[in-house]
Structure 1
Amino acid sequence: MSEAAVKSQAKSKIRTSTIVITGMMAAVLAILSIVQIPGPTGVPFTLQVFAVALCGYVLGTRLGALAVVIYILLGTVGVPVFAGMTAGPGVLMGVSGGFIFGFIIQAACCGLFVRRNFTNKTMRIAALVIAGLIGTAICEILGAITISLVGGMSYPAALVYCFTAFYPMDVVKVMLALVISLAVRSGLLKAGLLH
């Protein structure tokens, strides 16, 4: 086998494994979205934020966001992957819609520094934490928009609600996702399943 053929085969293997892992992360997001605790504004408490952060931290910016887009597309066409096993475009137009679209940005932010080389581990972890906190804050801001528009709450009140009712627990979920992702990503890289 020629050297070019070997390189092509290796590149194909990486692409196939990357596609499979991206799909698996979308599936993890769907599974963790099922469990929900009803919230007073109609926005349930779920493990979606944890799963979204995990997608970003494991896959990086582009693939993490892609996993979330796959999840959203599945839910939009009727696969019951949204919180509480709901589906359809109506969910995206409801009180949770801003959060769901915000998940794309959150995953992208979490993955922002995953591939970057830092001079020391502390700087790397700090960058990952800050990126995750910013992505989660953007998600809360977008969620407040739909709570305001659909839920009938003023935007300032919705924003305060999101940052008091959701953000503190979401920060814990994001930090847990970061800790878990360090081991998962390391294992996938060592196995040659991510590049």
Structure 2
Amino acid sequence: MSASSAKVRTITRIAMFAAVLAVCSQIAIPLPSGVPVTLQTFAVGLVGYALGAKRGPLAVLVWCAVGLVGAPVFSNFMGGPAVLFGKTGGFIYGFLPMALLCGLAAEKELPGRIFLSAAGLLLCHLCGVLQFSLLTGMDLLKSALLVSLPYLVKDLISMALAERFAAALRRIPAFAHTKC
């Protein structure tokens, strides 16, 4: 494969996974807290595990940029700066280190690599709780109990499923011949 076709394949994969993230963001159940239950955590894990530590965060960044300019790619068909700077925007920022750490976990053959993914999820939740707390005036503990703790089990299961799904993707010949 030539260098230019490898670049096209890389750009296509980044765009494709940004689109997967946009679609999974629309599968949402609104909750009174204002933080919906979505498939975003699954999608971000999949992006990181499938694309690796360099390209995974790029796909998340593309998704964020598309949403920032107003395209309705965030949950509930929302877009624009108000979402990123709103009370749930911290979770969106938190997806970047989460994708990075999931990508590192996929690339490393370490026995404790699952802890990299868990650290990414915790960073994502920390970013979300901090911004929610800041914008609502609610203290950090109450914010965590409202917008983080109820989602952790679902998010851990989502990440485990994303890792398995990415492993299956890597067994597909068209996907497997390039590194993360």
User: Which TM-score tier does this pair reach, normalised by the shorter chain?
Assistant: over 0.9
What is the CA distance between 1:162 and its match in structure 2? 3.8
Q: Could you say which residue in structure 1 is the equivalent of 2:30? A: 38
Q: Could you say which residue in structure 2 is the equivalent of 1:143? A: 128
Distance across 1 between alignment mates of 2:18 and 2:170: 16
> In structure 2, do the counterparts of structure 1 residues 190 and 83 end up closer, same or farther at CA, with 3 Å as the change threshold?
closer
> In structure 2, do the counterparts of structure 1 residues 20 and 165 end up closer, same or farther at CA, with 3 Å as the change threshold?
same
> In structure 2, do the counterparts of structure 1 residues 82 and 183 end up closer, same or farther at CA, with 3 Å as the change threshold?
same
Q: Could you say which residue in structure 1 is the equivalent of 2:18? A: 26
Cα deviations by residue, 1:74-126 (Å, 9 ceiling, x for unpaired): 000011000000000000111110000000110001001323356xxxx3xx4
> In structure 2, do the counterparts of structure 1 residues 44 and 188 end up closer, same or farther at CA, with 3 Å as the change threshold?
farther
Q: Is the 8 A contact 2:169 2:175 kept in 1?
A: no
Unaligned runs of 5+ in 2: none
Cα deviations by residue, 1:138-195 (Å, 9 ceiling, x for unpaired): 1011100121112332112212334421111100100000010101123256653556
Distance across 2 between alignment mates of 1:142 and 1:42: 16
Match of 1:181 among 166, 173, 179: 166
2:41 is aligned with 1:49: yes
1:114 partner SS: helix
Match of 2:101 among 99, 109, 112: 109
TM value normalised by structure 2? 0.92
Q: Could you say which residue in structure 1 is the equivalent of 2:89? A: 97
Give the count of matched residue pairs: 180
Unaligned runs of 5+ in 1: 1-8
Fraction of identical pairs, as percent: 36
Please tell me whether Structure 1 or Structure 2 has the larger radius of gyration of its CA atoms: 1
User: CA RMSD, aligned part only?
Assistant: 1.8
